[in-house]
């Protein structure tokens, strides 16, 4: 094998060393170029992340809700007053010194009955010259029509009223001292109204063994009509000698 001169060996080593430096330099430039290309991509990715966070923050913000306007509270409508039915019956003209209580007693009725039929809410709201309707069953009577009844064993207000053919409200109006429970004591004296028999009316006097149903059948009238015409509330309670007006 031939031996190279020393100078040739050194030149060869120098050339190889220069080649390696050139390759290293070229490799560094390529790496720097690659890094330069990656930096814009990283910046773009950072910008995307920032934009995504901003979008998420905007999405998380609650939507503004318009304030609810409260509906205006309207005052309650006034209660309509009941319309009274047409009336063509008798009227009473209020006189000086009258009160509704005295007028009711004068007509053998009650204050409540007068207030209802006249649509009144205050019993004191009457004035001289005012015309008042008369409630059902109310009658204007003369002092001569009044009589005294003495309570007997077994009597009740409804029985006494039916015996005298008068509404129980009239009996109570004529006797304001009566308790609301209607409890009677034997020997009590009650003021009653003697009702005149209507002209041309048929009158039946109750006999022993008769009943309201048998009397109604005898005259061919309704049991209900017979009871109402004589203010009878207990169809099983009739007295011998009691007068019944037969309805037409």
Residue-by-residue pLDDT tens, the chain, 248 positions = 444 444 444 555 444 545 544 444 444 454 444 444 544 444 545 555 445 555 544 545 555 555 555 555 666 766 665 565 666 678 899 988 888 988 887 887 888 889 999 999 888 889 999 999 998 877 777 777 889 999 999 898 889 999 999 888 788 877 877 755 567 889 999 989 888 888 899 999 999 999 999 999 999 999 999 999 999 988 888 999 999 999 98
Full-model pTM: 0.50
Structure tokens at 234: 């207990």
Rounded CA separation 123/115 (Å): 7
DSSP assignment letter at 232: -
At which residue do the structure tokens 């001569």 appear? Answer: 144
Q: Is 126 exposed, middle or buried (0-12, 13-18, 19+ CB in 10 A)?
A: middle
Structure tokens at 174: 């004529």
Kind of pairing between the strands at 91-93 and 131-133:
antiparallel
Rounded CA separation 169/177 (Å): 13
């Amino acid at each position: 094998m031939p031996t190279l001169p020393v100078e040739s060996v050194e030149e060869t080593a120098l050339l190889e060393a220069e080649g390696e430096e050139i390759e290293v330099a070229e490799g560094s430039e390529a790496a720097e170029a690659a890094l330069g290309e990656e930096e814009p991509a990283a910046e773009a990715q950072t910008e995307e992340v920032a934009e995504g966070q901003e979008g998420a923050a905007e999405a998380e913000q609650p939507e503004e809700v318009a304030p609810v306007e409260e509906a205006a509270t309207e005052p309650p409508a006034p209660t309509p007053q009941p319309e009274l039915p047409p009336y063509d019956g008798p009227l009473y003209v209020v006189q000086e010194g009258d009160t509704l209580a005295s007028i009711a007693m004068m007509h053998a009725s009650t204050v409540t009955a007068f207030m209802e039929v006249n649509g009144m809410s205050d019993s004191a709201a009457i004035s001289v010259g005012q015309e008042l309707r008369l409630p059902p069953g109310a009658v204007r009577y003369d002092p001569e029509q009044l009589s005294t009844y003495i309570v007997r064993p077994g009597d009740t207000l409804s029985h006494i009223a039916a015996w005298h053919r008068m509404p129980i409200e009239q009996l109570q109006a004529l006797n304001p001292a009566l308790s609301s429970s209607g409890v009677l004591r034997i020997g009590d004296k009650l003021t009653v109204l003697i009702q005149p028999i209507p002209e041309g009316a048929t009158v039946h006097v109750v006999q022993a063994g008769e009943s309201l149903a048998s009397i109604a059948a005898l005259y061919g009238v309704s049991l209900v009509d017979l009871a109402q015409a004589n203010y009878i509330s207990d169809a099983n309670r009739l007295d011998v000698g009691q007068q019944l007006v037969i309805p037409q």
